Amino acid sequence: MPISGAKNSALAILAATLLTAEPCHIRNLPQLVDVQRMIAILEAMGVQTARLPDGVTVHPANLQGASAPYELVSQMRASFFVIGPVLARLGYAQIPLPGGCAIGARPVDLHVKGLQALGADVAIAGGIVEARCRGRQGRLQGTHIYLDYPSVGATETLMMAATLAEGETTLENAAQEPEIIDLAGLCRAMGAHIEGEGTTTLRIYGVDALHGADYEILPDRIEAGTFMAAAALCRSVLTLTPVVPAHLGAPSPSCRKLGRSWTFWTIARCGWTVGRRGDRPTSKPCPTPVFPRTCRPSLWRCSPSAMATAPFKKRCLKTGCSTWRNFAGWGPTFGSKAAWRW
């Protein structure tokens, strides 16, 4: 079973290409609507793109102005990523507030506070976020930033912005997701100096300019985790390739409770084998390195095969419990602690 490139990595990586005026070749790009929308946003900002068999080449030399089109940004939350690279490179950015998130509203206050800490004047009016560097020669200034919550989006936005800031920037309580590591990999390939990705503390040493790069996106751990759950549910053997085993450490123990075992044959392939009817799985969604939030529905579906009460804890956003409502029609009941029983 082929595993696509990570969508969550791809969106931030495409935005990061705006940090340079030189061409960037992005490979293993998943063929998804959100990815095409992000490319359309770049094109609307004057960036030239050329499709590759497995990705895209981005030519950002002709980045025109600092405004992203509302009709595109409003369709996708991840489009807000462009504010960090555009502000860092041009000294000014005007980006509509993001939309298009199916699980409810998620504020961008951490992004805004972080950009302000880096020396930007930020104003929000009429659904538009306008940011301008007040530093010397319109450049952001390195600083110390503590994130109140380890937001992936805020970590990515501020990391990108800090690559071109003057001096050293420290991000504490940063997100640790593999997508952060992937984005840091591209930035480093472009000449950025970044330390600590994958930990709670990031250090970024700003440089004057970044250059182009040829970069391959990591495999999608969420897609791989979904197929792993499918193999566990069907009590079958499934080979997934490519995968990064270290990125699958959180879903795997939960599936082992269902009586499934797994074997890695190489760094790029993993296999599931059938086992006995297992114990109930458990899931408490947390930021990485615990349990990936997006993998929960797949694991929930495996619970009937365990024939047990399966406790799942969920911190809901406005519409984030829609999956539970859909599952309720299949027979499970939910208790006050978000457990279900078959």
Q: Is 129 helix (H, G, I), strand (E, B) or coil?
A: strand
Query: What are the φ and ψ backbone dihedral angles of 288, each rounded to 5 degrees?
Result: -50, 145
Tokens of 156: 């990515």
d(CA 53, CA 47): 19
| Residues 99/29, Cβ–Cβ less than 8 Å | no
| Residues 168/204, Cβ–Cβ less than 8 Å | yes
CB-count exposure of residue 21 (10 Å: 0-12, 13-18, 19+): middle
DSSP designation for 45: T
| Residues 263/153, Cβ–Cβ less than 8 Å | no
Evaluate the omega torsion of the peptide bond into residue 242 and state whether it is cis, within 30 degrees of 0. Answer: yes
* Annotation marks residue 101 as catalytic: yes
Catalytic site residue from 24, 101, 187, 286: 101
Q: Which residues are catalytic?
A: 101
